Structure 1
Amino acid sequence: MNNPTASLGLPDEEMDLRGTPCPINFVRTKLRLEKMAPGALLEVWLDPGEPIEQVPDSLAMAGYTVEQVEDRAGFFALKVRRPHEL
């Protein structure tokens, strides 16, 4: 299946988890990724501090590819891709 937005780095889905504490934000991100198509890109909005420090590392350890962490005004946008196989 060809995804025309993949080459542009545009997410297939977005999730706003600002205000969500650890580890709930990691769990919700992982559950959403498991429902997405292999190769799909998810953008997750996370608070500074513990969420942005913990969630990317936890996702990488779980086998997901963290493609970008962008510092936006007051929060971070994390782009993570579901691999074709876990």
Structure 2
Amino acid sequence: MSQPATSTPDAQMDLRGTPCPINFVRTKLRLQQMEPGQLLEVWLDPGEPIEQVPESLTVAGYTVEDIDDRSEFFVLYVRRPRA
């Protein structure tokens, strides 16, 4: 996951300050509204959010393409799978 995201995100969400599991639920709902293959950029807090959300999304069938550490928060790039 050290490579930058392969394309410009189709949508962005700032979930800093949002507790678990609400941040996962909001991310999953947003991905479900997107077209297959689209990329979502999600801003998450350090600690439990960045530890739990990427793993939960992977288990749910989404592709985590990159996690960028911006020191004060993390940027998660996740793609909705193609049908």
TM-score (structure 2 length as normaliser): 0.91
Per the alignment, residue 44 of structure 1 pairs with 42
Q: Secondary structure at the match of 2:76?
A: strand
Percent identity over the alignment?
A: 72
Which whole-Å CA distance do the structure 2 matches of 1:9 and 1:21 have between them? 28
TM-score by length of 1: 0.88
The one of 53, 63, 66 equivalent to 1:65 is 63
Deviation of 1:40 (Å): 0.2
After TM superposition, the runs of 4+ consecutive aligned structure 1 residues lying more than 6 A away are none
2:19 equivalent in structure 1: 21
Structure 2: any 5+ residue segments left out of the alignment? none
What is the Cα deviation at residue 8 of structure 1?
A: 4.7
Aligned partner of 2:82 in structure 1 is 84
Number of residues paired by the alignment? 79
Q: Give the greater-gyration-radius structure (CA).
A: 1
The gaps in structure 1 that reach 5 residues or longer are: 1-6
Q: Distance in 2 between matches of 1:8 and 1:66?
A: 12
| Higher RCO (C-alpha under 8 Å, 6+ residues apart) | 2
Matched residue, 1:75: 73
Distance in 1 between the 2:22 and 2:6 partners?
29
